[in-house]
Structure 1
Amino acid sequence: MDGGVLLVHGGMCTSSCWSPVAERLALPVIAVDLPGRGSRRCDLLEVSLDDCVRTVLECADDAGWRRFALVGHSLGGVTVTETAHRCPDRITHLVYVGALIPGPGQGGCGLAYGADWPAGEIATIDEGVARAMFGNDLTDDQWATWWPSFVPEAPRLMNARLSGYPNGVPTTYVGLTDDVAVPPTLWDEMTSHLPGPVDRRQIDAGHMVMWSKPTELAALLSELLTESLLTQTTSAPSAPR
């Protein structure tokens, strides 16, 4: 196997949100910090979807992965959709976990909340609101561990429009039954934007399933991704970027 799994976090998160899953995943794995947070500090007002796609591809290149599985959570659905659209030959499997897939001409914030985030205003959220939306099924200890990693978000990324949708990439949508931020009422609408068939799975969990049910999510990702990585990364030629 010469590839692995790239995990892309959602809005107001860092790569650390994936830690409980990454340590349980029996596959080569990299949790990406998108620009403006974690190890990739920069001016959040300048961060664009192009920057995020470039970061994902650079992480794969740095790891020496010609092809890789791509997993996105929440607002990370925008980045993984755009990445797979631009470079479908590099993706062995695309997995959305409680992720946003905006329609044509729509941003992630508009899809989730009905309006774009104000331009030029860095996105933040009150802890009480965040707990209700993202941590409704987390224990107090789990929330206390995760909340300090919460970070501001780039407005251009909140409002980014997709240039297209991936075609010919095996795709799975993992819905979270108790998700407040990305509720089940959005699943059919979002997956209808994708041109190919979508394998639908679900986990009985809230938005931060990586913290509430990391073992279950890691097992599902291993089931979905192991065979495709073994068969596709060993036979496919390097794809142009």
Structure 2
Amino acid sequence: MLLTVQGIPSYCYTGGAHFDPARPAVVFIHGAQNDHSVWTAQARYFAHLGYGVLAVDLPGHMRSQGAPKTSVADMADWLLALLDAANVRQAALIGHSMGSLIALETVFKAPQRVTHLAMVGSTYPMKVADALLTTARDNELAAIDMVTAWSHSPLASHTVRNTARRLMQRMPGRLHTDLAACNSYANGELAAASVRCPTMLLCGASDAMTPPKSAKALAAAIPHAQTVTLDSGHSLMSEQPQAVLAALLEFIGSR
């Protein structure tokens, strides 16, 4: 589904079902140099349970036009504009990595618009190693290889790894911008303290990008949040698709 958001065509995958804004809405938000497809399995299941699903392509990513946003705050403003364009009054937000920061900032900016907050593979602050930032700026293909290696547990198959690598290679020129936005996001502590909606932190036990121990401060800042840890690396949705789906269904509630 194409929507005009801030004057620019923006794509949302609706899970293979007609999107009805009158249904309870679930919005899936991808991470750095990814797109809606990382959420395909989960989005399809929620759509066929009767939810209104929007798995977004962020600006400048895959099917959404425009330049990539350079800050988490600007991405959150875009997401709120997308909800307006889709005639969605309230939605559950499910974000992975950078997408989790966007979801958190969106709750901060418009708490009345968010029914549930699920942060997958998240931490705050989401600092990016200087070596990775520099490589993403100067040699993106090498940086993609670094991210691919660090995003998967030793149990991840070659197919899963190669699919992740190929997806990032199809969108050249976004990685440094996205990683820099994560690295510079500074409102997480204040945003986390403001969260009142049901919240879940979904962590990968072998996550080298956002290790579970690094999310402890985030969990402490949202004392009502539940934490679920899966046997996975950072790319939880591809390594453990069924377990991620089960955790999200239990959190948001099946229909």
Shorter-chain TM-score bucket reads 0.7 to 0.9
Task: Say whether 1:148 aligns with 2:142.
Answer: no
TM-score (norm 1): 0.79
| Aligned: 1:223 with 2:246 | no
After superposition, where does 1:72-151 map in structure 2 within 5 Å? 72-102=95-125, 108=126, 110=127, 112-113=128-129, 117=133, 121=137, 124=140, 125-136=142-153, 137-150=155-168, 151=171
Correspondence 1:198 to 2:217: no
1:69, CA displacement in angstroms?
A: 0.4
Answer 1 or 2: higher relative contact order, Cα 8 Å, separation at least 6. Answer: 1
Unaligned 5+ residue runs, structure 1? 103-107, 231-241
Q: SS of 1:66's equivalent?
A: coil
Aligned counterparts of 2:244 and 2:64: Cα–Cα separation in 1? 26
RMSD between superposed Cα atoms in Å: 2.7
The answer to whether residue 61 in structure 2 is matched with residue 37 in structure 1 is: yes
Alignment match of 2:52 (pick from 5, 24, 28): 28
| Secondary structure at the counterpart of residue 23 of structure 1 | helix
Aligned positions, number: 218
- Measure the CA separation in 1 of the matches of 2:124 and 2:252: 21
Please list every run of at least 4 consecutive aligned residues from structure 1 whose deviation after the TM superposition is greater than 6 angstroms. none
Cα distance in 1 between the residues matched to 2:33 and 2:221: 25
The CA deviation at 1:140 is 1.2
Does the 8 A contact of 2:122 with 2:215 survive in 1? no
Greater helix content: 2
- 2:148/2:164 contact within 8 Å kept: no
Alpha-carbon contact 2:28-2:55 (below 8 Å) kept: yes
User: Does the Cα contact within 8 Å between 2:29 and 2:36 map onto a contact in 1?
Assistant: yes
**TM-score (norm: length of structure 2):** 0.75
* C-alpha displacement of 1:73: 0.8
Structure 2: 5+ residue stretches without partners: 1-21
2:35 matches 1:18? no
TM-superposition CA deviations, 1:134-155 (whole Å, max 9, x none): 1334211222223211142315
Taking only the aligned residue pairs, the percentage that are identical comes to 24
Deviation at 1:29, TM superposition (A): 1.6
**CA distance, structure 2, for counterparts of residue 15 and residue 123 of structure 1:** 25
